[in-house]
Structure 1
């Protein structure tokens, strides 16, 4: 069809009249159909700047013909043709505006002012996309001066309500919102012009909004088959949110809109109950089915009360947050209306019958929609967010009101139940959901600890309000909410009462009569109960928890599986696993492995699974570690030997998790013999980079945990030793054929070998270090380079002479020797090394090298500072610009660069600079830039080191970067006070003029020289 369009378009330019007439008839026929074919043609053939372009390009005359035809479609009387034309014209604009289609904008504005309702609708559909994506900053303000008055004319009730449809008027508001967003984006560059535009335009629009919102909203939803009118109100609320967040509204205007929003939400309570709380399933009680939530004619325009509640609640939430800030916007209104806002929020937080139907059938949907940080933003979520805002900013008043509301909700629910009201439980459930809040829980716990009264009575909640609800029949959502709420306040429960609540949760899990909502809630409750610190009362019930979870492990998937695994993870950690037995541990492992096999491609469940394996292996109970190993290795050994890709990779992760839990020197008799053949088979053939990297981590773990057993193993198949097999693997890992990403854990493996195997590595040391250097010479990433540099740094700080002898003998194809390669890469990447241990080893090794008197070290030059040119000194060099404009760096002696790197510890005061009780003040030593300087690629040493040192004190689980573990924490290098050590180093160098120290200091920057001089004279 695309080729037919091209041929017909060409034929319209024919000199033969009959051919031209026939072609025009055909092209008009094609262009009046929904624009799927035309859309495909434009996407693939219009311009090579469009992402799906395949060619060939149409001739310019044909392009002009298409533009004219498509533009005329914007005024077609059929909405679907206007919509298709607008979509296609937006694609054309992306490629042609402004160079090849300079009249587009003026043409659209002409349509907008034509008075033709079809033309106006078509023009607005294009403008919606056009303003968002195509207008440059310098075009925006002139266009808005013409556009915004036209849009207001379309919206204004005195003319627009009769001339234009509600959907067209709603579209006008949506475009105005996009204009406000665009103005906010350019405000920093054009502050005066934007301020003028806003001050001129905004009052008129806000006045119109107020007038429109003042009409009764219930009138918009009286006809169940047509809710088009509500679309205007929804778009206004969404626009008010944008205006409030981006621009300033006066307190009077803000309070006026707060009042009108409250009135709108209050007036719509009856329709909300009719259409959403009762819905079509309760038609005998007056319920009705709401129309579809979006317009069939205009899919971007929303038509549901849920879409109205979200921006309305968002506006109130923003007012609440601003009311406690410096400006105190609407503070008086907020404090005076806490009860009103809370009443509305709880009412609109009730579970709609549609969600109830979905959740009763789909556990994953229920878990997903009820999770924190839920992506599906509903009226319920927005309303509960308002409650959270009030609790955060007005805790005492809000908690007091909520406690009263909780008590009243219980009484009201019971009366409604007696009256036969089918939704008697919903408001009480919303109230329990609102009080399941960390702010309230912390306040209640703090009051209990101090013995002071609290505005919210948590003890009464747990002893009088929740217990009757736990056994309320026929209300799974309310009953489940009681379970979850009780578990949130579990730290207040005495041991006997906690056992009762946990028993009730387990009974719900174990009962075949419990539906999805109740079982999901019970799972959450079990997870919460088991995760509290005072877990000893739970330990006796822990085996029962495992048994209750077992059936779910074999049936659930995705979000539900994550919830079950989280519950299993928390119970495994109860009382540090002292309740575990070998039999229970074996059953847990079998459940986990079975679940893993069914969900092998789920990385989230795998992450929790590996944590559980580590918890099991680290449990204090006798025999549990051995049971976990015996149940895991026989299953996963064949898996890693017979699979590649993600299956092998994930199995290796689980095995590593198990052995991570082992105590040092207690890997278990026969573990290497049982696993070794399968592991080295896998490492010899696996091609997936992630699997190779995971294999490297597993090797590292085994050597670290039990080096004696590992080194004693010999492969029964060919008699090769474990070290020989490791050497073969490393040769493969570091070969050019393997992706660099696969070798990021190499550094950890090498360092572990050097630390644990000692002299046994001697015979393979030379070839091994040579292949490391060769791989380092082609490394492309900083992390990959660090993985190969740190093992050398470790060896150098132990025995620099032997390592330097070896490096000087290594010659690469480009003529460089190994020492040149190592020092060049080291100096280039040292500022971004990650990991506390790695950065310390690097620092220690650099000081060793600086002190070493060796001619080869004095001859090597490395990358120095950025060479500042006229071009780079007058512009801020962004990262994107840096890719296009390569920087030039000076070449300086290695020892000068090493000195710069060494004194960075003092420049940034990475550790305490207190020496013997005397505080050493390194004036001028810190970076004197500001946040904007992070854009400068050539900002020098300070910025990169700041990032490095900010990272090095965090827990580090990145491969090849000096992972922290219990053993490395006790390494001698970790005990060094870097500041004192560096000051002593500088003082010794100065006193003996080591490596011509004084001459090197003269080549430092002013800041660096200041640091050195202060260090040298410290304590003198």
Structure 2
């Protein structure tokens, strides 16, 4: 059988799809053969076979185990496919493969993963000797076999044990790992792997602590008593001799020793960070020695770091096969992050602040602020790798500058540390840094890298200083003249760039208006963009222009509008537009600067090339969502500003814009460039939404044919949405022009064209997402055309809306359709209900449109978005309630969620297997509940009149010191804890759903008015306590 399986395994790796799938099906047919899993394990254990086939055998075995081992596994197929005797044999085979010293690491890793899946089902009941066997092997096996044992233990911790299984074995497991971590006779990488597995235990312990808090705290306190000294000892270990590049290339003993030391230190630092995150109080007593050791380590590692990454270009960010990082840059990152965490611990902060007291005599410790800033400057220097990357790709430089990158480096970590120190000691830290900057600039031996890094830290500190509300005016002149201006004249491009950046921060952060300084900087930036030889400097200056625009007076800023537009246009012309498509950060930087320049006075667009430049960049960035958002924001500001000046100005804007947008539609259609058409549709929608009333003559004729073509084509849903919204806006602003327009293609009037569009979008062939805006268009049509002009089409239109609502599932689409009836109910609520009762909807359990619409309406109202939409919905529902229509009490709708009795985490698979359950209540009660849900909790509740109780507000302390809360104080299962967490959820602060004071006042008056009505008193008894409390908080009811 093994030969048959080997043949099939080989065929599963063929490039041709048909034979590969045939082999996979044949392997699945062998699942019921009792010898199948044993044969797979035998193949995997045979060292003479090709590695790829052995790995493939274990992958197939993993799938077999998941499907046929035990009903407790998530992917169980419904039938156990292996008997107990074979299970026992297979467990032994896999454990031998995983812990053998002869097997390839990839084979051992695959076997270990299968073991973890089996253990999750069998340990400890059916496999009681698993952990004792592994623990017993640790002191007896050689390094190669120990690696396999640790790999199995790591997989068991990560994926094999549940909370109960883990905690039963935690003591022996952690002791076993500790023995490896402290064993100086073991390979350093194995000791690092043991620490890594120990750190992996924290996630499971955190879950166990939710139920067994005291036990977990006692266990971890005992464990850390042993582990903490080892951690501190490893932190203090000096690094071995630095390997040369030849040592690294040859992977000799010097390099292996270095690599092992780095890997071990990294795992220790990560374990300390994890301890502080999960069990912060348990390290309080050790926080000072840990901080001291971390600081000393960072100071000692600075010189090797410079050797590796500043003076040379060694490779960083490397991990071994066990995913253990082993390069120095990783270690520095972890140490900087640990240092930042430790600075937030009370004993450390208190100790450091005490050194700064005037009464404390002078000592080296008293200079800790200067020391840490020098350290941060040292680690913030541009590496050789960064220098090379930034020179090649300015886009990478910009992403680093804007902190919009996933490439977290020591430079980024230092920036975060600067923020923390600045928040503690804003004035003192800034003064010390300026003094250090003066020393660096006066030192003829200092490199451009050290001067640039000093300015980098200064810039970050100035930003933080300004964000705290402090005035940088006092230091502006000194910093500008001493450090910034010389940097702007430097021969090095990165130092020049940094000089301009800091200058921009200074003018932006100053509370005083630095008109002349900002004007001078603007001119220098414009000159640099034109004349500087470095793209790094050019793009930095483009960013700086934004700071200058905000710092100048309006009069001064207007003087620079044309020069800024011109220089951006020139720089854009110098770029390869095909490459610019991929340079998103550069493109966004130019668009943002152009946007800010235009917003000084939007009428610039009517007489300059500003819009042409904007649209050129928009066309290049049409595929980038961020670029689209920036362009849309810019164009919205332009349109609003110009439309506010009247019809003439807006007409000029349309005359300038519409041909360009029409051309974008045509080019996009010819080239199948959907992103360009999307961008054009978005901008056209903005132009229509913020237009004048009425619109310029010819507006409808210019845009409607293209919009109609879009809506009758099979295209992306967002394009349909934009086109529908644009027609809605046109109809809202100028119904006369819209409805009287005739399509030259077929002679149909605007009213008929819109009816045809609505009918298509409401049809069964159009997806909910594509039709998401049709409800708004239909409502606008009903309102603007009126019943007389619509005639028999009105009832037909409303009937189609009700029918389509019965099958709608997409939330925005549902809201769109419901608002058709909501807007009608604002003035004709009874007529709406009467009409809906006459509508018969086939294919549903409900018999009438009233049943369908009310159910959808009430069950989805709470998810509505938008100020106007929510207000209209509330007013409409209140009108319907005031009818006191008995039909509402006969319609049953979805009520409150029935909370499950167990506290298990609700995963997606479990939610699918056990869907949410709801109560069933009358529509009249649901309507009241919906309106109550729209009430925002009053910030100062007054004594209610609907209850005999009193309202009491507790005042808490205003202690802003961070507390190290003990573990047992946070019981996530305790009702009091849940109540406290829920109390933080003040909808008025966090909810994205819009509300307004007028609507809230209306709701308050509404409930006060109906409070004493008999019908409401009956419904009131069915409300839950939180709903009653909201009503009571309204006061006299």
Secondary structure (helix, strand or coil) at the match of 2:560 reads helix
1:393 equivalent in structure 2: 424
Kept in 2: contact 1:863–1:890 (CA 8 A): yes
1:495 is aligned to 515
- In structure 2, the partner of 1:508 is 528
- What does 1:205-220 correspond to in 2, within 5 Å? 205-217=227-239, 219=241
Q: In structure 2, do the counterparts of structure 1 residues 561 and 722 end up closer, same or farther at CA, with 3 Å as the change threshold?
A: farther
Three-state SS of the structure 2 residue aligned to 1:820 is helix
**Counterpart check, 1:164 vs 2:183:** no
Partner of 1:268: 301
Q: Distance in 2 between matches of 1:74 and 1:671?
A: 74
- SS of the residue 1:808 aligns to: helix
Residues in 1 aligned to 2:196 and 2:724: alpha-carbon distance in whole angstroms: 55
Within a 5 Å distance, the mapping from 1:864-1013 to structure 2 comes to 864-865=895-896, 884-885=913-914, 891-903=920-932, 908-909=936-937, 977-983=1001-1007, 985-986=1009-1010, 990=1013, 996=1015, 999-1000=1018-1019
Shift of 1:81: 0.4
Distance of aligned partners of 1:714 and 1:924 in 2 relative to their CA distance in 1, 3 Å threshold? farther
Select which of 337, 343, 359 maps to 1:320.
343
Corresponding position of 2:140: 114
The offset of 1:952, in angstroms, is 7.2
Q: Is the 8 A contact 1:392 1:439 kept in 2?
A: no
Q: Which residue number corresponds to residue 860 of structure 2? A: 829
Q: TM-score, normalised by structure 2?
A: 0.81
1:604 aligns with 2:623: no
CA contact (8 A) 2:205 2:216 kept: yes
C-alpha distance in 2 between matches for 1:438 and 1:923: 56
SS at match of 2:876: helix
Partner of 1:340: 371
Cα shift at 1:702:
2.4
Deviates more, 1:226-235 or 1:25-34: 25-34
Match of 1:563 among 561, 584, 588: 588
Residue number in structure 2 paired with 1:678: 706
Q: Does 1:82 align with 2:114?
A: no
Shift in alpha-carbon separation, 1:321–1:380, aligned structure 2, 3 A? same
Say if 1:700 and 1:268 are closer, same or farther in 2 by CA, change over 3 A. Answer: same
Q: Are 1:126 and 2:145 matched, yes or no? A: no
Q: Distance in 1 between matches of 2:133 and 2:1030?
A: 66
Instruction: Could you tell me which runs of 5 or more consecutive residues in structure 2 were left unpaired when the two chains were aligned.
Output: 11-26, 249-254, 358-365, 954-969
Return the offset for 1:373: 5.1
Tell me, in whole angstroms, the C-alpha distance in 1 between the residues paired with 2:986 and 2:334: 39
Query: What residue number does 1:463 align with?
Result: 481
Shift of the 913–614 alpha-carbon distance from structure 1 to 2, 3 Å rule, reads: same
Deviations 1:506-530 (CA, angstroms, capped at 9, x unpaired): 2232236224x22332232223333
Given the alignment of the two structures, is residue 234 of structure 1 paired with residue 257 of structure 2, yes or no?
A: no
Is the CA contact 2:493–2:537 (under 8 Å) kept in the aligned structure 1?
yes
Say whether residues 1:638 and 2:666 are aligned partners. Answer: yes
The residue aligned with 1:404 is: 435
Corresponding residue of 2:56: 37
Tell whether the 8 Å contact from 1:322 to 1:329 is kept in structure 2 after alignment: no
Q: Where does residue 544 of structure 1 map in the other structure?
A: 563
Matched, 1:383 2:414: yes
Give, in whole Å, the separation in 2 of the partners of 1:625 and 1:443: 38
Q: CA deviation at 1:1005?
A: 5.7
Q: 1:309 aligned to 2:328?
A: no
Task: Give the superposition deviation at 1:305.
Answer: 2.0
User: By how many angstroms is 1:431 displaced?
Assistant: 1.4
Q: Tell me, which stretches of 5 or more residues in structure 1 are unaligned? A: 280-288, 418-423, 957-968
Q: Deviations over 1:380-419 (max 9, x none)?
A: 211222111111223232222122122222112xx116xx
- For residues 4 and 55 of structure 1, the distance between their equivalents in structure 2, rounded to whole angstroms, comes to 27
Inter-CA distance 768–274: structure 2 relative to 1 (3 Å threshold): same
1:535–1:574 Cα contact (<8 Å) kept: no
- Whole-Å Cα distance in 1 between the matches of residues 974 and 813 of structure 2? 24
Range that drifts further, 691-700 or 89-98: 89-98
Residue of structure 2 equivalent to 1:286: none
Q: Aligned equivalents of 1:630 and 1:464: distance in 2?
A: 51
User: What is the rounded CA distance, in whole Å, between the counterparts of 1:647 and 1:211 in structure 2?
Assistant: 60
2:216 paired with 1:187: no
Per-residue CA distance 1:357-384 (angstroms, 9 max, x = gap): 1111122222223332532121221122
Q: Is the 8 A contact 2:316 2:328 kept in 1?
A: no
Which of 844, 850, 864 matches 1:819? 850
**Partner Cα separation in structure 2 for residue 20 and residue 411 of structure 1:** 75
Q: Is 1:625 aligned to 2:653, yes or no?
A: yes
Tell me the equivalent position of 1:689: 717
Distance 1:1006 1:637 in 2: 56
Q: Distance in 2 between matches of 1:945 and 1:982?
A: 27
Cα deviation, 1:884-918, whole Å, max 9, x if unaligned, reads 44566555443344344445566x5469989xxx9
Match of 1:961 in 2: none
Q: 2:318 aligned with 1:294, yes or no?
A: yes
Q: Partner of 2:23 in structure 1?
A: none
- Structure 1 counterpart of 2:819, from 790, 813, 829: 790
Is the 1:35–1:85 contact (alpha carbons within 8 Å) kept by the matching residues of 2?
no
CA offsets per residue over residues 305-357 of structure 1, 9 Å max, x none? 211111111121112223499x9586547984222222211111111112111
Contact 2:944 2:1033 in 1 (8 A): no
For the residue of structure 2 that corresponds to 1:718, the secondary structure is coil
Indicate how the Cα distance of structure 1 residues 200 and 549 shifts in structure 2: closer, same or farther if over 3 A, else same: same
Question: What CA RMSD, in Å, does the superposition of the two structures yield over aligned residues?
Answer: 4.5
Judging changes above 3 Å, is the alpha-carbon distance between structure 1 residues 187 and 859 closer, same or farther for their aligned structure 2 residues? Answer: closer
Asked if 1 retains the 8 angstrom alpha-carbon contact of 2:418 and 2:460, the reply is no
Distance 1:888 1:128 in 2: 39
Distance change (3 Å), C-alpha of 1:801 and 1:588: same
User: Would the alpha carbon gap of residues 946 and 328 (structure 1) be closer, same or farther in structure 2, given more than 3 Å must change?
Assistant: closer
State the Cα distance separating 1:137 from its structure 2 match.
0.9
1:705 match: 733
Matches within 5 A, 1:133-144: 133-144=159-170
Q: Give the structure-1-normalised TM-score.
A: 0.82
> Structure 2: how far apart are the matches of 1:700 and 1:91?
59
Larger deviation: 52-61 or 87-96?
52-61
Aligned mates of 2:286, 2:78 — CA distance in 1: 55
Partner of residue 252, structure 2: none
CA displacement, residues 490-516 of structure 1 (integer Å, 9 cap, x when unaligned): 23362222122122222232236224x
Shift of 1:250: 5.2
Partner SS for 1:430: helix
Q: Retained in 1: the 8 A contact 2:890–2:922?
A: yes
